Amino acid sequence: MLFRQQQTLMRSEAVHQVDEMLGSVDRELFTQIELLKVLAQSPMLDGDRPDLAAFHGLAERFQSQLPLWHRIILADTESHMLVRTGYSYGTPLPPLVDEKSYRRVLDTGEPTIGDIAKPWGTANGAPRASFRVPVRRDGKIRFVLTGVVSTQRLTDLLANAGLDPAWRPYLVDGADRIAASLRAPVNVGSPAMPPTVLARTAGSSGIYDGISPEGKPLVTAFRKSVKTGWSVHVAVPLALYNQPATHSVWILAFAGAVAALLTGAFILLLRRELQAQRRDTLAQERTVRMEALGRMTGGVAHDFNNLLMVILGNLEMLGRRNHEPRIERYVTAIRKAAERGTHLTRELLSFSRGGGTQSEVVDLTERLLGTLTMIRQSVSGHIHVETDLIPGRHAVRLDPLQFDLALLNIAANARDAMPDGGSFRITARRCPLPDRSGRDGIALSIKDTGSGIPAEAIPHVFEPFFTTKEVGKGTGLGLSQVYGFAKASNGMADVESRAGQGTTVTLYLPLAQEELPETSKMPADTSEALGMSGLARVVLVDDNDEVRTVTAAYLEEAGFQVAQADSAHAGLNVLERSGGDILVSDLIMPGGMDGLAFANEARRRWPDLPVILVSGYSASAARATELGYKLYMKPYDMAELVRDIRDLIGSDGLRTVAMDRG
């Protein structure tokens, strides 16, 4: 009886493990597909003459942010490669390798995962899988986009399960090939053994008698994904499975009861440990995925910001020259569309945490109370807003505007979840932060009594463009902004919800080490500076020719002399040769010296030279804030730039200001 109990426990644990690992594998595979879908939306592939050279550059940058990605390939519907990272654009390209999965995308119109393969020309290189998605324009498939990704991450998922060293976990792809094997990595890419193929053909889960490549009998539990066709298998050597039968009868009789208790306790403790380990692994996977999405969305937003800067800048120039009402209507429509694009990219940058923040030390309670009026207006009168705040002042460092926006985004979601009314409760309490850092912080919980979120959607609610709302009723960027704000504030964000039982969003914000500042005085009147003569010399540095050209044209019409340069080194040469009254420079530039290093060098050489920095997206934006630079984001208002230049040149004692409007 004890023998059968131990075998039953062993089978149950194996089945439990394959269920858990298959969930992790499915999430990993679909994460790669979702990343590829975002790249497929690039506007560079729009129109009858897509800009393939520019898309090649975007694909190179995209791949550089994802360490396990080896190649990105764009092919037309005739099997011709058009773009392949790792090759210079315009180089003759070889034919497609996995024609079968390519054709499957064209036939079904759905994303697909290709077969496992090893790199060309290598015997022991890391195996790779091809992820393919259709690129649709005007309802038709124009291209097929492929990402070639290392399967090392899949092997890591098997390793993180914490199995008995004698157990053999492995993964089989949709073509019955070994996709990952923890104990025998040399078998990856080889066909699965016949019992494995037969079990996959007969059903989607179960236990079967298998055999190892070395010919040893196995008892194997497996489960196949209905979404991908891939399956996870955990094989237990038959000798280990039958091991209890070799024990002596007198030992079983004497120690059977004790062994059963100890085994049960051990398995219970082991299962708890494995569950805790799996929770940590899932949290780590989620963090890695969100960071990868953050880098990708930041890069895409940077390119969009430069495009919007050119559009809005030229609209400004056109508006100064056009006085015909009919054309003005078209200009106004284009400007509104560009401004909506600006709002979208700023939400993307909030998620990516690359847009820079205007962080300052504030009293959390005071800031929250100041935002309540907007929250009440946002949720409307049939929803009751309640607060339960801790007394006293509590200093936190954050971006006040992003904090307000995060609360309003949460309130908007709560309003949509309570169309017939309900309650919206904001609670604050002091507690240690849940990141195990030992820091003290504030847990700000916002709870509604709405319809809740389905369990399967909870892991994805912070991802950009993910939404449970109907089409046209949400962008999927509200909670991603909340996540980006929390990360930028060195804190965390969490969601708890059950369908039909409401939702609680909790922001964990660390307490600031600094004291709360005194109330600042109003700035001095700058009207005299704003009215000064506009004959100053502006040194304008930007590697984007279109952005630099339209900005220079506007500044010249405003009465400034403009000297242009396309790199930091060229800008230093201009300042050395002929000087300048103010420097306006982009943050991201090629050539080994970015805009922040350029500004610091200019400050060192010419301490009295005012500096303005502009950028669409930059990881150095936060550092610029720490150094005292004020940040703006592209696309910015040209008239505001002119006012800032005049203000800086005419303000005594003000040396440098940084502007990151992009």
In this predicted model, what pLDDT tens digit does every residue of 573-583 receive, in sequence order?
A: 999 888 889 99
Q: What sections of 606-637 are H helices per DSSP? A: 621-626
Residue 260 CB partners (closer than 8 Å, separation 6+):
2, 5
Partnered with residue 205 across adjacent β-strands are 223
pLDDT digits (tens, 9 = 90+) for 43-89: 999 988 999 999 999 999 889 888 889 999 999 999 899 999 999 99
> What mean pLDDT do residues 514-533 have?
45
Going by pLDDT thresholds of 50, 70 and 90, the confidence category of residue 117 is confident
Least confident of 86-95, 119-128, 219-228, 569-578: 119-128
Closest CA to 94 of 122, 120, 123: 120
Closest CA to 613 of 627, 629, 636, 602: 629
Query: Residue 251: is its pLDDT beyond 70?
Result: no
Q: Are 561 and 535 in contact (CB under 8 A)?
A: yes
Residue 289: what pLDDT? Answer: 56
Residue 244 CB partners (closer than 8 Å, separation 6+):
2, 3, 6, 7
Closest CA to 346 of 297, 307, 412: 297
Q: Are 114 and 132 in contact (CB under 8 A)?
A: yes
Query: Residue 657: is its pLDDT beyond 50?
Result: no
Closest CA to 498 of 451, 460, 545, 539: 451
- Exposure string (b/e) for 452-480, b if CB count within 10 Å is 16 or more? bbeeeeebbbbbbbbbbeeeeebebbbbb
Residue 495: what pLDDT? Answer: 92
Residue 110: what pLDDT? Answer: 92
Least confident of 106-110, 357-361, 446-450: 357-361
Closest CA to 544 of 574, 564, 569: 564
Residue 279: what pLDDT? Answer: 61
Residue 618: what pLDDT? Answer: 66
Query: Residue 222: is its pLDDT beyond 70?
Result: yes
Residue 430: what pLDDT? Answer: 92
296 or 339, which is more confident: 339
Least confident of 7-11, 275-279, 381-385: 275-279
88 or 524, which is more confident: 88
d(CA 303, CA 310): 11
Residue 94 CB partners (closer than 8 Å, separation 6+):
81
d(CA 88, CA 110): 29
Query: Residue 263: is its pLDDT beyond 50?
Result: yes
- Which amino acid would we find at residue 122? T
Going by pLDDT thresholds of 50, 70 and 90, the confidence category of residue 374 is confident
Query: Residue 129: is its pLDDT beyond 80?
Result: yes
**pTM of the model as a whole:** 0.41
If one counts every other C-beta atom within 10 angstroms of the C-beta of residue 657, the result is 20
- 69-76 vs 140-150, strand pairing mode: antiparallel
DSSP 8-state code for residue 515: P
DSSP 8-state code for residue 535: -
pLDDT digits (tens, 9 = 90+) for 392-403: 889 999 888 788
Taken in order 544, 546, 549, 555, the sign of the CA dihedral is negative
Q: What sections of 41-98 are H helices per DSSP? A: 52-64
Residue 632: what pLDDT? Answer: 66
Going by pLDDT thresholds of 50, 70 and 90, the confidence category of residue 475 is low
> What mean pLDDT do residues 589-611 have?
88
Q: 61-75, 238-252, 623-637 — which one is most confidently predicted on average?
A: 61-75
- Tell me the pLDDT of the chain averaged across its residues: 79
Q: What values do phi and psi take at 414, rounded to 5?
A: -65, -40
Query: Residue 122: is its pLDDT beyond 70?
Result: no
416 or 661, which is more confident: 416
Query: Residue 350: is its pLDDT beyond 60?
Result: no
> What mean pLDDT do residues 526-545 have?
62
Going by pLDDT thresholds of 50, 70 and 90, the confidence category of residue 300 is low
d(CA 182, CA 605): 58
Q: Are 2 and 252 in contact (CB under 8 A)?
A: yes
Query: Residue 355: is its pLDDT beyond 70?
Result: no
Number of H helices, E strands in the chain: 17, 21
> What mean pLDDT do residues 502-517 have?
90
Which segments within 476-589 are labelled E, that is strand? 492-497, 503-510, 537-541, 561-565, 582-586
> What mean pLDDT do residues 440-457 have?
91
Going by pLDDT thresholds of 50, 70 and 90, the confidence category of residue 662 is very low
Closest CA to 305 of 609, 567, 569, 43: 43
pLDDT digits (tens, 9 = 90+) for 130-173: 999 999 998 899 999 999 998 888 888 888 878 888 889 999 99
The SS3 assignment for 590 reads coil
Taking the CA atoms of residue 542, residue 547, residue 550 and residue 556 in that order, the dihedral angle to the nearest 10 degrees is -20
Report in angstroms the alpha-carbon separations of 167 from 184, 196, 238, 281, 368: 11, 16, 10, 20, 54
